[in-house]
Amino acid sequence: MLENFLRQAKADEPVYITDVRNVFQKEGTRPFHLHVVLYDGSERSFSLQLPKTESQEEEAFVASYVHAMIYNILSSLGAVKIEIYLNQKDEKSEKLARELDEVFQTGLAKAERSGYGKSLNVNERVLAVLLKGKYQFEFVQKDVSEEKPVQVEKKGDKIQPIFASLPKLAEDKMILGIDIGGTDIKLTASVNGNLAVYKEFDWFPAGFERAEQLLDPVLMITRLMRAAASLYAVGKGDAMDMAALDKDASFEAMNQGIKTMEGEAGEALKNFDAIGLSFPDVVIQNLIVGGETFKTRGMRENKNLDYEEQFAKISVLCEDLKQYVTENGAVMNTNDGPMAAFTAAVEQAVVGADVSNGFFAHTLGTELGTGWVLPDGSIPEIPLEVYNFIIDLGSFTQKQYDSNDVRSINNFNTGLAGTLQKYTCQSGVFRLAAKYLPKEEPKVYQEALDLGLFVWKDDQLVVPTEPKDMRKPCLEFFMKKAGETEHPACADIFRQVGEYLAVTWEETDYILDPEAKDRSLFGRLVKTPACFKLMCEGATKRVPGLNQYAADGSLANTDLMKQLDAHPDYTVAQFAQAVGAIYFGCLGLV
């Protein structure tokens, strides 16, 4: 079995971790049982079985599997500690367990960690918030003879879902929804049950070297939206500065718009009753605590400033936003993945759908976002960085490219190979296009080069972000081609992404065990029905019966979402999460 996996990997084919685990669990004879102590003191067990190895190459492959499993668990569930139960007379297993401290760099400072150690950076920040830094993560090795069964908590009575009650709260209030992404920010304000103002702002936060470069635009546009919404609230909507609200408005134009509209509003200028915020990082108790995403890479790599100090400023963004809400108002923040799940749950609940199992969703855009919302509207306080999941232990040729090369499967932030960041979001589309189109559809590939969507930079193939960010146009180019019958190789790209989504389902179901089994998909990759259909074809080929739903016009059930769906200039695919953020803000008023 190991020979087959290695043969696939050397042929540059994916070797899915799910397939490896299934085979190892059936044929493995060496226990390597993980008991994961979670933040709330409960335990989860993953009774891994490992096969015998006959060479260093096979040992390295088995080690890569174990490291990936632990990394995926830490990236999603987090942990206070992980106990490993094995046969301590098995020298190879004992050595594998002993070396985990070195692999995950438990003894290093956050700034010194790389690769697998990055998961511990996030874990430590979460421990600091939830458990006030009382615990330091550790691996503990024990003999399998000492293992005791983990008590599985019985699931209690179904929680009464809260989602359907939230839209009514927006009917007599002024609420702002903010959806922060890696390529743009989308905002919409609801005034007394009407979507009154929209704003889109393009940016490239991964290039920012200081916290203020990220914070200042968010706060300025929030102030801009407050001024415009205040005018609408007193019947002065015609006085809104549409040039300042335009997608391509400069900072100067927006600042001028703020002055003009605040002056026009005068004493009628009022703060929001609530702000709901979707932020692309780990969020625990309204604090942004992850710090290891692509969006903050520029700050991490800035050697002239202390990254922890810079990130601490971003962590308390909600406190900064409170200046724009009323005294008894609320600022509610969560990761973009949970916001997607929350949005879908509200829209489904108002038409009587059964949301008693909660909701599970993904956003497919710059990154893969993952959202898991429980029936009462609460969000599990865990990292849930599923985009960091290592799903592919093969594709050896593509591991050799630098992470910035579109042909690479290496993570931008950690350098680790095979993570979902390079499989299920826009980077996955770019990589598959660069891999297959030169041979299968050379004219399309050449067209991408001629249009400057792909550019050779020395020996690297990249999608340029300067002087103009070409990531959106590049994705839209391949999506358009995929929808045309004369480009079957482009269509296969999205079927392949669908297969990756099926593997994602398998891994999230195994590690997280959510009651919700269906998946709702948000983001640019599902914007066109043709591409969504292709992804569903690829997914169900691997996991028959997997139900995936696109966040399109069919999601529009609440009054606000229906207004968005009817808008001539904006779509549900674009602004759904901004509307969902409005309802999430309402949750803070309950």
Residue 198 has pLDDT above 70, yes or no: yes
Q: 292 and 435: one domain?
A: no
Nearest to 223 by CA among 180, 271, 175, 184: 271
Q: Where are the alpha helices (DSSP H) in 136-210?
A: 166-169
| Calpha distance 526→533 (Å, rounded) | 9
Could you tell me which residues are beta bridge partners of residue 43? 37
Alpha-carbon span 540 to 295, nearest angstrom: 32
Q: Is position 584 within any domain?
A: no
Q: What is the CATH number of the domain that holds 298?
A: 3.30.420.40
State which residues form the domain around 114.
2-144
* One-letter amino acid for residue 145 of the chain: S
Is 550 in a helix, a strand, or coil? strand
State the Cα–Cα distance between residues 179 and 187, nearest whole angstrom.
6
Ranges 143-147, 238-242, 323-327, 371-375: which has the least confidence? 371-375
Burial (Cβ within 10 Å: 0-12, 13-18, ≥19) of residue 95: exposed
- Considering the domain architecture, whether residues 99 and 202 belong to the same structural domain is answered as no
What is the 8-class DSSP label of residue 323?
G
Give the span between the Cα atoms of 456 and 406, in whole angstroms.
10
pLDDT-derived band at 347, boundaries 50, 70, 90: very high
In this structure, are 169 and 300 located in the same domain? yes
Last residue of a domain, one of 301, 316, 336: 336
**Helices and strands counted in the chain (H then E):** 21, 17
Give the total number of structural domains in the chain: 3
> Which position has the higher pLDDT, 291 or 193?
193
Q: What is the pLDDT of residues 25-40, one digit of tens each?
A: 999 999 999 999 999 9
Find the angle CA(579)-CA(582)-CA(585) to the nearest 5 degrees: 155
Output the pLDDT for position 129. 85
Report strand pairing: 455-457 vs 460-462. Answer: antiparallel
For the cut 70, the answer to whether the pLDDT of residue 259 exceeds it is: yes
Contacts of 404 (CB under 8 A, 6+ apart): 412, 460, 462
Q: How far apart are the first and last CA of the chain?
A: 55
- Tell me the three state secondary structure of residue 243: helix
Is residue 107 over pLDDT 90? Answer: yes
Query: Residue 158 pLDDT more than 80?
Result: no
**For residue 5, what pLDDT is reported?**
98
70 and 187, same domain (yes or no): no
Find out whether 179 and 577 touch, Cβ atoms under 8 Å.
yes
- Clarify whether residues 438 and 534 are in a common domain: yes
| Residue 324 placed within a domain | yes
Per-residue pLDDT at 157 exceeds 60 = no
Task: Give the SS3 label for residue 317.
Answer: helix
Closest CA to 480 of 468, 491, 470: 491
Helix (H) or strand (E) run with residue 288 in it: strand 287-288
- Shared domain for 110 and 225, answered yes or no, is no
Q: For every residue of 406-417, which 3-state class applies, written as one string?
A: CCCCECCCCCCE
DSSP for 66-109?
A: HHHHHHHHHHHT--SEEEEEE-TT-HHHHHHHHTHHHHTTTTS-
Average pLDDT, the chain: 94
Give the mean model confidence (pLDDT) for residues 209-238. Answer: 97
Q: Summarize the confidence of residues 196-216 as an average pLDDT.
A: 94
Predicted local confidence at residue 524, as pLDDT: 85
- The answer to whether 516 and 464 have CB atoms below 8 angstroms apart is no
Residue 155: band (very low, low, confident or very high) from pLDDT cuts 50, 70, 90? low
Q: Is residue 367 part of a domain?
A: no
Work out the average pLDDT over 51-67: 97
Beta strand 43-50 pairing with 30-37: antiparallel
Q: Are residues 131 and 172 in the same domain?
A: no
The answer to whether the beta carbons of residues 80 and 135 sit under 8 Å apart is yes
Do both 213 and 72 map to the same domain? Answer: no
Residue 563 lies in a domain: no
List the single range of 140-144, 324-328, 521-525, 539-543 with lowest mean pLDDT.
Answer: 521-525
Tokens, residue 12: 């540059």
Tell me which of 96, 114, 144 is where a domain ends: 144
pLDDT band at 413 (very low <50, low <70, confident <90, very high): confident
Is 536's pLDDT higher than 60?
yes
Do both 471 and 510 map to the same domain? yes
Does the pLDDT of residue 227 top 90, yes or no? Answer: yes
User: Is residue 227 in some structural domain?
Assistant: yes
Q: Determine what percent of the chain is predicted with pLDDT higher than 90.
A: 80
Helix locations, 378-487, DSSP H: 426-440, 442-450, 471-482
CB atoms under 10 Å from CB of 461, counted, come to: 18
- Residue 131, pLDDT above cutoff 70: yes
> Who contacts 236 (Cβ-Cβ below 8 Å, separation ≥6)?
264, 265, 268
Residue 156, pLDDT > 70, answer no
Closest CA to 574 of 559, 564, 589, 586: 564
The answer on 126 and 10 residing in a single domain is yes
The predicted-structure confidence for 443-498, as pLDDT tens digits, reads as follows 999 999 999 999 999 999 999 999 999 999 999 999 999 999 999 999 999 999 99
